[in-house]
Amino acid sequence: MTKDPSAHTPIANSSRGQISRRDFLGASAILAAGLAAGGCKTSHEPSKEPIIDIHQHLGYSDRPDDVFLEHQRKMGITKTILLPAGRSVQTGSTHEGFSNGLQAKCLGNADCYRFAKAHPKEYLFGGNEVPDLDDAVKEIEKYLKLGGVIIAEQKFGVDCDSTEMQKIYQLAAHYHVPILMHWQYMMYNYGFDRFYKMLEKYPKTIFIGHAQTFWANIDKKNVDDDVKLYPGGKVTPGGITDRYLSDYPNMFGDLSAGSGLNALTRDEDHARDFLHRHQDKLIYGSDCNDLVGTVPGCQGAKTIATVRRLAPNKVVERKLLYANAKRVFRI
Ligand SMILES: [Zn+2]
Ligand SMILES: [Zn+2]
């Protein structure tokens, strides 16, 4: 199983929309044309259907830009959203610098902005900052004003209901952009079990959940564990994540990383039902740092293949890989 590249032993203890008919018919027509042109080819060429990847990073584990561009093309991604790191600082919220660069050498706002501007057809960018710095809101807002489409990746050691985070939730609502949070027990964004209070307090903020603790909690029987971050085996529906997705219109899920893939593959019967039930709330992202972009070496490519295999039908598959992102990000 592929692990999230950033997973590690914790070091701190602090505290609807529908797919449009046009989109669907368009995708079907493209598919039909591809089949007609290619006969019964079952090659490994990237699909011609558009795919939006809402979760990638620049400079990820030192991956060179040209390799990254090729990686995304090989996966068949037509639009990628770059999630910047916050600035590098030595604070409790970055575990004294350990978590700088999103704990994976990822680059920040200015680099993501420049790269997206250099590749405007295929790349978009977000704005981010360490949330408890004095000018965090100002710095994030600067990049939202420049056209940033998300606040992310929020991966810091802070309480999910801290004053600082609440200011950022308000900023997200004001600019009509989602905020994507990396939930990792005892490490990043503390307090997943009480997060419903924020979902209720900020109904106009679109929250996208990601990472180990978000995905472990699809299972009602999950007990959060800071070491066993990738639980396996059968899933009992009704975990916290399942309930948040069902009960709150402003809660969404990002399928990216080893944690998202594990959540689908650990119990495929459950996954089929889960994808069906949350077909308007789950969004494809890759968040992989490999150099290849193809199965079997690339977890992002594996997640695409897994979604295609487990989605109950073509319409749902297209929602997960494309239409939900298009709607939520208004792109
Ligand atoms: Zn990430
Ligand atoms: Zn990959």
Span from the CA of 25 to the centroid of ligand 1 (angstroms): 32
Span from the CA of 153 to the centroid of ligand 1 (angstroms): 6
Span from the CA of 66 to the centroid of ligand 2 (angstroms): 14
Mean pLDDT confidence for 247-271:
98
Any idea of the CA torsion for 300, 303, 309, 314, to the nearest 10 degrees?
Answer: -80
Pure H helices in 119-204: 136-145, 163-175, 196-201
What is the residue whose two structure tokens read 């606040």?
A: 151
In angstroms, rounded to a whole number, what is the distance separating the alpha carbons of residues 323 and 103?
Answer: 30
**At residue 22, does pLDDT exceed 80?**
no
Span from the CA of 328 to the centroid of ligand 1 (angstroms): 19
Q: How far apart are the first and last CA of the chain?
A: 33
Span from the CA of 69 to the centroid of ligand 2 (angstroms): 11
Span from the CA of 210 to the centroid of ligand 1 (angstroms): 8
Mean pLDDT confidence for 195-217:
98
Span from the CA of 290 to the centroid of ligand 2 (angstroms): 5
Confidence of residue 12 (pLDDT cuts 50, 70, 90): very low
pLDDT in tens, 277-301: 999 999 999 999 999 999 999 999 9
- For residue 11, the model assigns a pLDDT of 40
**At residue 329, does pLDDT exceed 70?**
yes
Its pTM stands at 0.87
Q: Are strands 207-210 and 179-182 parallel, antiparallel or unpaired?
A: parallel
Per-residue burial over 249-259, b if 16 or more Cβ lie within 10 Å, else e, is ebbbbbbbbbb
- Cα 102 to chain centroid distance, Å, stands at 14
Q: Which residue, among 295, 301, 291, 286, has the nearest Cα to 83 in the 3D structure?
A: 286
pLDDT in tens, 132-172: 999 999 999 999 999 999 999 999 999 999 999 999 999 99
Per-residue burial over 6-17, b if 16 or more Cβ lie within 10 Å, else e, is bbeebebeeeee
Span from the CA of 1 to the centroid of ligand 2 (angstroms): 14
| Mean confidence (pLDDT) of the chain | 90
Confidence of residue 227 (pLDDT cuts 50, 70, 90): confident
**At residue 30, does pLDDT exceed 60?**
no
Span from the CA of 261 to the centroid of ligand 1 (angstroms): 14
Kindly give, in sequence order, each residue whose CB lies less than 8 Å from that of residue 299, ignoring residues fewer than 6 positions away: 2, 257, 258, 261, 286, 288, 290
Instruction: Report how far apart, in Å, the C-alpha atoms of 13 and of each of 154, 165, 179, 229, 255 are.
Output: 18, 19, 24, 16, 27
In angstroms, rounded to a whole number, what is the distance separating the alpha carbons of residues 322 and 77?
Answer: 10
Ligand nearest to the CA of 154: 1
Ligand nearest to the CA of 210: 1
pLDDT in tens, 37-46: 444 444 455 5
Let me know: does 309 contact 269? Beta carbons within 8 Å. no
Span from the CA of 47 to the centroid of ligand 1 (angstroms): 24
**At residue 176, does pLDDT exceed 80?**
yes
- Show contacts of 294-299: CB within 8 Å, 24+ apart: 294/44, 294/74, 294/75, 295/44, 298/71, 298/74, 298/75, 299/2, 299/257, 299/258, 299/261
Ligand nearest to the CA of 56: 1
**At residue 10, does pLDDT exceed 70?**
no
Span from the CA of 308 to the centroid of ligand 2 (angstroms): 17
In angstroms, rounded to a whole number, what is the distance separating the alpha carbons of residues 193 and 60?
Answer: 30
Look up residue 135 and give its amino acid: D
pLDDT in tens, 181-203: 999 999 999 999 999 999 999 99
Q: Residue 182: phi, psi to the nearest 5?
A: -90, 110
Mean pLDDT confidence for 216-243:
96
Ligand nearest to the CA of 77: 2
